[in-house]
């Protein structure tokens, strides 16, 4: 089966600055895959490189197609970090426009069900985006993304702006999406969410990938009573290795 996402030796950045180097990972069909790291670790840079939105070198394929041309993105839906819908559109108008980008018609009943499933006030759909709080805007973006039903979702910090109840409900929706045989790739710094729903994770630190595998494997390898502690131990170990020259001598 063709992999939803496969990355080999990918380096990317902005202008002359290289932010991430030599990234190698693959995402399996029908899994929830989590990308974690501190702020500035390179998570968003990696996502933008996959989408062809930043300078990149190396190889990446989306369902076997090159990541650069638009054809490679035809089977995925993307929600950026810090999303807020247009203030000029009502909720229903935003959903209709988003689905039209994918040559789909809006199913109002499905949209209402997802709004309920993400704790979004249904009355908000008749109001303009300028009246939305951060959390409401995030929920509307998630509804639109999930409605596409595409085989791969790429979500950058999808829990951002959500209260605890909405976060729990979103996790349920993502697990349902996986249950339909589709794939979810998302970044987050909320490690409790990652530990709860991800089949596999990748840890980025200093622009490099320092771990790839199941959350339980990171716990076993790095130690700690939970994923947060294991993550901290992993990045501290990575910092030590970054500072040690290849010959094992003093870093000066």
Q: Is the pTM of this model over 0.85?
A: yes
Give the separation between CA 169 and CA 133, rounded to whole angstroms. 18
Give the separation between CA 22 and CA 32, rounded to whole angstroms. 23
Answer whether residue 243 shows pLDDT above 80.
no
140 within 8 A of 95, measured Cβ to Cβ:
yes
Percent of the chain with pLDDT over 70: 96
106-124 pLDDT, tens digit each: 999 999 999 999 999 999 9
Give the separation between CA 66 and CA 68, rounded to whole angstroms. 6
User: Region 234-243: what's the mean pLDDT?
Assistant: 82
Give the separation between CA 116 and CA 170, rounded to whole angstroms. 11
119 within 8 A of 139, measured Cβ to Cβ:
yes
Answer whether residue 245 shows pLDDT above 90.
no
157-193 pLDDT, tens digit each: 999 989 999 999 999 999 999 999 999 999 998 888 8
As to burial, measured by CB atoms within 10 angstroms (0-12 exposed, 13-18 middle, 19+ buried), residue 236 is exposed
Please give the helix or strand (H or E) that residue 45 lies within, else none.
Answer: helix 43-50
Is 1-75+153-163+184-246 in CATH node 3.30.2090.10? Answer: no
Positions of CATH 3.40.50.300 in the chain? 1-75+153-163+184-246
Tell me what pLDDT residue 246 has: 45
211-231 pLDDT, tens digit each: 999 999 999 988 778 899 999
Tell me what pLDDT residue 249 has: 40
């Amino acid at each position: 089966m063709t992999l939803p996402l496969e990355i080999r030796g990918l380096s990317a950045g902005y202008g002359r600055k290289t932010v991430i180097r030599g990234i190698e990972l693959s995402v399996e069909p029908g899994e929830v895959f989590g990308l974690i790291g501190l702020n500035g670790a390179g998570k968003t840079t990696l996502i933008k490189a996959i989408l062809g939105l930043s300078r990149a070198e190396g190889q990446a394929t989306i369902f076997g197609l090159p990541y650069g041309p638009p054809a490679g993105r035809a089977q995925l839906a993307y929600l950026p970090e810090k999303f807020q819908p247009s203030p000029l559109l009502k909720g229903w108008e935003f959903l209709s426009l988003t689905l039209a980008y994918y040559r789909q018609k809006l199913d109002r009943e499905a949209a209402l069900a997802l709004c309920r499933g993400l704790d979004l006030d249904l009355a908000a759909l008749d109001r303009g985006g300028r009246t939305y709080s951060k959390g409401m805007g995030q929920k509307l973006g998630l509804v639109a993304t999930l409605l596409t039903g595409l085989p791969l979702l790429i979500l950058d910090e999808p829990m951002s702006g959500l209260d605890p109840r909405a976060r729990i409900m979103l996790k349920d929706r993502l697990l349902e999406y996986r249950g339909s045989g589709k794939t979810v790739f998302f970044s987050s710094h909320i490690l409790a969410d990652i530990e709860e729903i991800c089949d596999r994770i990748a840890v980025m630190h200093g622009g490099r990938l320092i771990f790839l595998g199941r959350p339980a494997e990171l716990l076993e390898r790095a130690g700690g009573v939970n994923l947060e502690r294991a993550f901290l131990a992993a990045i501290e170990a990575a910092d030590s290795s970054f500072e040690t020259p290849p010959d094992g001598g003093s870093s000066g």
